[in-house]
Amino acid sequence: MRIGIVKERREHERRVAATPETVKRYKAMGLEPVVERGAGLGAAIPDELYEQAGARLVDGPGEALAAEILLKVQRPLDEELAALGPERVLIGMLDPYMNGDQVRAYAERRITAFALELLPRTTRAQAMDVLSSQANLAGYRAMVEAMAAYSRVLPMMMTAAGTVTPAKVFVIGAGVAGLQAIATAKRMGAVVTATDVRPAAKEEIESLGAKFVGFIPKDAATAGGYARPLTPEEQAEQARIVAEHLKSQDIVVTTAQVPGRKAPRIVTAAMVAAMKPGSVILDMAAETGGNVEGSRPGEVVEIGGVQVIGARNLPAKLAPAASLLYAKNLMNFVQLIVGKKGELAINLEDDLVKGTLLTRAGEIVHPNFVGQS
């Protein structure tokens, strides 16, 4: 059975779905890796390394797209989808909530599609958890970019010419990305505060040595460990606390998300305008609707002397590291659905299979999407 890796062709994408290390593992599993020439260049992986690892290199995407299993970073382009034959297995970050039409197209084309961002966040799934591996790097990169845009300094500096006070950093949303952003700011010597709505996040913020600011609404965490949307009253309470706190902050990184929905709007333009000139806000949720009013993905907007940076595909800016982790996540998942002789062995009773399988044999099978056909 062939396993195909193509060059990612979506704008601003530089990651790749397999590395020489995972190619070697696929060979050992009895699979035949087929890699499009140039697929790894965005992640600084030359073709020769794939070849040395045992991949068959092919010109253009055609042969890799024809493989029985296709590994992707982002969901396929329409022309890639059109090249996928029936009963093919597609694995990647397929972003199904935002792309219902494509989920229907997978079913129509009889593709077995797995959306890895739907993995349950259980201990067994950790090694395949693409959201965590990519969000961790994204949180780090977000803080690095915000710090680079800030024209004062992060740590306290005591010099003969005088003392520079440390920057005040506020992180909104302390999931995987937010916690890494907090840790990165702490390493640089900033004074860090953070907020979230889940009780577990409050403890994690404090365990990193940052101060929790805000309030924890009742039952704000769902059974899956995610946040629920806040009620209008809770939003108003949060807005009051955040607006007051922002006035004293220098760098703000926002990461709040509610799965399957538009990102919650937490920082209004009025709150931004009330901040000190020279402050920097980086909105990590800019691509999913924005935590900050007025932020635009890939752009820097200035509001009253405050720079508002809209993040756009941050993991792709760390493509070598992000690909290394992502490719391993995929490999661990592939191990779950391939048998000892390199054959497909999809166990529909497995909760990780059930949790990620979108379509199979012409049907939409994932409970969150059934009824869309």
Q: Annotate 231-270 with b (16+ C-beta within 10 A) or e (fewer).
A: eeebeeebbeebeebbeebbbbbbbbbbeeeebbebbbee
Residue spans of alpha helices (H) in the chain: 20-28, 47-52, 62-65, 78-82, 100-108, 130-149, 176-187, 199-207, 232-246, 269-273, 319-337, 351-356
Torsion over CA of 47, 52, 58 and 62, rounded to 10 degrees? -90
Applying CB under 6 A, which part among 95-103, 195-203, 307-315, 338-346 lies near ligand NAD? Answer: 195-203
**Of 131, 169, 246, 319, which one interacts with ligand NAD (CB under 6 A)?**
131
Q: Annotate 341-364 with b (16+ C-beta within 10 A) or e (fewer).
A: ebeeeeeeeeebbebbbbbbeeeb
323 is catalytic: no
Which residues, listed in sequence order, are joined to residue 5 by a DSSP beta bridge?
A: 35, 71
Q: State the pairing for strand pair 363-364/157-159.
A: unpaired
373 is catalytic: no
- Alpha-carbon gap, residue 308 to 317, rounded angstroms: 19
Q: Is 132 in the site for ligand NAD (CB under 6 A)?
A: yes
CA atoms within a 13 Å half-sphere pointing along the CA-CB vector of 29? 25
Q: Annotate 188-201 with b (16+ C-beta within 10 A) or e (fewer).
A: bebbbbbbbbbeeb
Q: Is 180 in the site for ligand NAD (CB under 6 A)?
A: no
Applying CB under 6 A, which part among 189-197, 205-213, 300-308, 353-361 lies near ligand NAD? Answer: 189-197
Q: State the pairing for strand pair 69-74/89-93.
A: parallel
Q: Is 278 in the site for ligand NAD (CB under 6 A)?
A: no
> For residues 290-329, which are near ligand NAD according to CB under 6 A?
none
Q: Is 175 in the site for ligand NAD (CB under 6 A)?
A: yes
3-state secondary structure of 79: helix
Q: Is 115 in the site for ligand NAD (CB under 6 A)?
A: no
Applying CB under 6 A, which part among 82-90, 250-258, 272-280, 345-353 lies near ligand NAD? Answer: 250-258
Of the residues 132, 257, 295, 323, only one is catalytic, namely: 132
Shortest spacing between CB 124 and ligand NAD, in angstroms: 9
**Of 72, 109, 198, 366, which one interacts with ligand NAD (CB under 6 A)?**
198
Q: Give the residue nearest to ligand NAD (CB).
A: 175
Shortest spacing between CB 185 and ligand NAD, in angstroms: 16
Q: Is 197 in the site for ligand NAD (CB under 6 A)?
A: yes
Kindly tell me which of 53 and 246 has the beta carbon lying closer to ligand NAD: 246
Kindly tell me which of 36 and 283 has the beta carbon lying closer to ligand NAD: 283
129 is catalytic: yes
Shortest spacing between CB 178 and ligand NAD, in angstroms: 6
Q: Is 266 in the site for ligand NAD (CB under 6 A)?
A: yes
- Per-residue string for binding with ligand NAD, 212-231, x by CB under 6 A? -------------xxx--x-
Residues in Cβ contact with 19 at an 8 Å cutoff, skipping those fewer than 6 apart: 40, 43, 45, 323, 324, 327, 328
Q: Looking at residue 317, what DSSP letter applies? A: G
Q: Is 130 in the site for ligand NAD (CB under 6 A)?
A: no
Q: Within a 10 A sphere around the Cβ of 302, how many other Cβ atoms?
A: 11
Which amino acid makes up residue 286? A
> For residues 133-172, which are near ligand NAD according to CB under 6 A?
135, 172
Specify whether the CB–CB gap between 113 and 106 falls below 8 A.
yes
- Per-residue string for binding with ligand NAD, 333-362, x by CB under 6 A? ------------------------------
Q: Is 282 in the site for ligand NAD (CB under 6 A)?
A: no
Kindly tell me which of 36 and 287 has the beta carbon lying closer to ligand NAD: 287
Question: Which sequence positions are flagged as catalytic?
Answer: 121, 126, 129, 132, 226
Question: What does the binding site for ligand NAD look like in residue numbers (CB under 6 A)?
Answer: 121, 123, 126, 129, 131-132, 135, 172-178, 195-198, 200-201, 225-227, 230, 255-259, 264, 266
